[in-house]
Amino acid sequence: MKALITRPVATMIVVFARAMTAVRAIWPESGLPKQPCIYFANHSSHGDFILVWAVLPPWIRSRTRPVAGAEYWLATKLKRFIGQDVFNAVLIERDKDKRTGDPIVRMAEALDGGSSLILFPEGTRNETEEPLLPFRSGLFNLATLRPEIDLVPVWIDNLNRVMPKGEIVPIPLICTVTFGSAIRILPYESREAFLERSRAALLALSPKVAGAAA
């Protein structure tokens, strides 16, 4: 019954995002993993997961859940509706004192349930001039708990210009979402090494970084 409302709302959000950004996906030659996987992306705007979600093929999209901050997505009725009902987000309490369970375990359970996840390993929106903040430990902890899961780096380009922090009106600009080849955690790989390797895999997809290297 609820799907009667949430499906059209999801479609409207995707249509709106596409009208604003004419978003174009760039796929890796190997294609996307068939099994549940983790899409880890750079984070500069609240619209990030919507853009990733919008470009995924419908059969993958329907079983892909974003991981998002509970304090933001539970703040108002509208956000709660969009976050929980429309996008079925795995909401994580970032404040340790308010946590009722281990967020990593909840993400692993979502994977076990057959869902893919969209994860932002920087942990917060990047509002600096740096292309990418250092990764928090979440991605490592999750990869350690489920080492057989594919990790797909996803670079979202230009969305921060569409809607910079504190602005209400989005500006139509063309965005691209670049998917890289999947990586996995290696046996006995250290936290630092893994986070550095996954961060480099993501950064390599940025057109600015790739452009500077060329």
Partner 1 sequence: MNDAQSDLILLLSGTGAFLAVASVIGYVLRVKLSPDGSNTTIENLNARINAWWVMVVLIGIAFIAGRVGVVILFAFCSFAALREFVTLTNTRRADHWALAAAFFVVLPVQYYLIAIEYYGLYSIFIPVYAFLFMPIISVLRGDTEHFLMRIAEVQWALMICVFCASHVPALLSLDIPGYDGKNVLLIAFLIIVVQMSDVLQYVWGKLFGKTKIAPRLSPSKTVEGFVGGVASATLVGAGLWWITPFSPLQAAGLALTIAIMGFFGGLVMSAIKRDKGVKDWGHLIGGHGGLIDRLDSVVFSAPIFFHIVRFGWSLT
By CB under 8 A, name the binding residues for partner 1: 22, 24, 158, 161, 164, 167, 169, 171-174, 211
To partner 1, the closest distance from the beta carbon of 163 in angstroms equals 9
Shorter beta-carbon distance to partner 1: residue 97 or 167: 167
Nearer to partner 1, 7 or 208 (CB): 208
Nearer residue to partner 1 within complex by CB, 31 or 164: 164
* Cβ atoms of 185 and 143 closer than 8 Å: yes
Q: Are 91 and 106 in contact (CB under 8 A)?
A: no
**Contact at 8 Å (CB) between 168 and 46?**
no
Q: Are strands 90-92 and 64-69 parallel, antiparallel or unpaired?
A: parallel
Minimum CB distance to partner 1 smaller for 15 or for 22: 22
> CB of residue 177 vs partner 1: minimum separation in angstroms?
13
DSSP state of 183: B
Tell me the three state secondary structure of residue 26. Answer: strand
If the CB atoms of residues 25 and 32 are measured against partner 1, the closer one turns out to be 25
Q: How far is the CB of 190 from partner 1 (least distance, A)?
A: 39
Q: What residues are paired with 155 via a beta bridge?
A: 178
**Shortest distance in whole angstroms from residue 164 CB to partner 1:** 5
Kindly state the smallest distance separating residue 187's Cβ from partner 1, in Å.
Answer: 41
Q: 23: buried, middle or exposed (CB in 10 Å: 19+, 13-18, 0-12)? A: buried
Report the distance separating Cα 148 and Cα 151, nearest Å.
Answer: 9
Min CB(20)–partner 1 separation in Å: 8
Q: What's the CA gap between 90 and 95, in Å, rounded?
A: 15
| 20 alpha carbon, distance to own chain's centre | 19
Closest to partner 1 by CB, 10 vs 20, is 20
